[in-house]
Amino acid sequence: MLNFKEQAEQFEYFLKKQEKKGLFKGSPQNLYDPCHYMLQLGGKRIRPSVCLMAAALFSETVTEDVYWSAMAVELFHNFTLVHDDIMDEAPLRRGKPTVYKQYSTTAAILSGDVMNIYAYRCLQYVNAAHLPAVLSLFNQTAIEVCEGQQYDMDFEQQDVVAEQDYIEMIRLKTAVLLAASMQMGAICAEATQEQAKRIYEFGLNLGIAFQLQDDFLDSFGTEEAVGKQIGGDIQANKKTFLAINAQAKADEGMALELSRLKELKGEDKLNGMLHIYQQLGVDATCKQAIELYTNKALEALELISVPAERKQPFVQLLNFLMNRNF
């Protein structure tokens, strides 16, 4: 069984092959250069890799249409990043200028659009017997990702966000695509509907746990382990799981203190916020939630009726993702 890293390499090889065949290298250049730029920024290729892993879970051989499904989710994911960066006015992505900064907003809109369509184009190569199921799943997921992005933007304008609404938002914005990537691999590998649904459940809960852990690490991680500066969410007053829980749990005095800190910048703000988070115990609440969703993921994986050693790459991935130091 290939592990995550090996599958990621397999996918990267497939992607390079498509690029050599001319993917995003044709005319008009002003349309395709930004697509190429975005793709070569790299990233961990998590979604396509788990798509391949899910196929390998149910079948000895990973057929070419699984690679096309993997490519579809990767292109779709990159399309959403290109457009999200415009909406969020983000200057950098993976340490490089975002597409709209490097080219223009117009270029980023149209190039994003064509990347989305190229994602669908990959689905053409899916075995016709599986195409209706794969297309439906992909459509539903793509719609949910847009809904998640909208809720995320809506929340930034709201005074109060309920915890369950926040979980629903990250489910839509992040988790469903990870889950669907796995289910697509499973469908192509001829898993039964029930088995395919279970790997979706695994991916969904892992995705939620992963996002919650991201929230946690931004406040309580270490810079070496996380690979970026701690406290970015706090400085930006982002409505993370920690922030909305702190707001919900704070008494009147603490609420005033939270409001005061929000107006600040720098170390004082960070330390003040972390202190309140700990006083209110939202760090523990977050850890509990991470554990809850991690366990749900493992339960779903448990129910999949293939030999245990086949599941090892997924268990490893979960451990790897969830044990980023904290």
Shorter beta-carbon distance to its own copies: residue 115 or 282: 115
Give the CA angle between residues 19, 23, 25 to the nearest 5°: 100
Judge residue 122's burial from the number of C-beta atoms within 10 Å of its C-beta, 0-12 exposed, 13-18 middle, 19 or more buried. Answer: buried
Least Cβ distance, residue 114 to its own copies (angstroms): 4
Query: What is the closest distance, in whole angstroms, from the C-beta atom of residue 168 to its own copies in the complex?
Result: 10
261's CB contacts (< 8 A; 6+ apart) are 268, 269, 272, 273, 276
Are 178 and 77 within 8 A, CB to CB? Answer: no
Of 66 and 242, nearer to its own copies (C-beta) is 66
Cα–Cα distance for residue pair 70/170, rounded to 1 Å: 22
Residue 277 to residues 34, 274, 293, Cα–Cα distance (Å) = 41, 5, 21
* Residue 87 or 306 with smaller CB distance to its own copies: 87
Q: How far is the CB of 132 from its own copies (least distance, A)?
A: 5
- Considering beta carbons, is residue 80 or 285 the nearer one to its own copies? 80
Nearer to its own copies, 123 or 250 (CB): 123
Taking the complex as a whole, the smallest distance from the CB of residue 146 to its own copies amounts, in Å, to 4
- Nearest distance from C-beta of residue 124 to its own copies, angstroms: 5
Interatomic CA distance for residues 14 and 10, integer angstroms: 6
Q: Could you tell me the smallest distance in angstroms from the CB atom of residue 120 to its own copies?
A: 6
Q: Is 166:195 a contact under the CB 8 Å cutoff?
A: no
Smallest distance from its own copies to CB 285, Å: 26
CB 190 within 8 A of CB 297: no
Cβ atoms 294, 322 nearer than 8 A: yes
CB 144 within 8 A of CB 172: yes
**Smallest gap from residue 295 Cβ to its own copies (A):** 29
Burial status of residue 159 (CB atoms within 10 A of its CB: 0-12, 13-18, 19 or more): exposed
Q: Which amino acid is at 188?
A: C
Enumerate binding residues for its own copies (CB under 8 A).
27-28, 30-31, 83, 86-87, 105-106, 109-110, 112-114, 116-118, 120-121, 123-124, 128, 131-132, 135-136, 139-140, 142-143, 146-147, 149-151, 153-154
Cis peptide before 28 (omega within 30 of 0): yes
Strands (E), the chain: 92-93, 96-97
CA distances from 28 to 122, 223, 227 (A): 20, 42, 37
Tell me how far, at minimum, the Cβ of 150 lies from its own copies, in Å.
4
CA 307 to the chain's CA centroid: 28
Comparing CB distances to its own copies, the nearer of 121 and 238 is: 121
Nearer to its own copies, 42 or 132 (CB): 132
Q: Which is nearer to its own copies, 117 or 306 (CB)?
A: 117
CB nearer its own copies, residue 134 or residue 206 = 134
Say how far apart CA 244 and CA 215 lie, in whole Å: 11
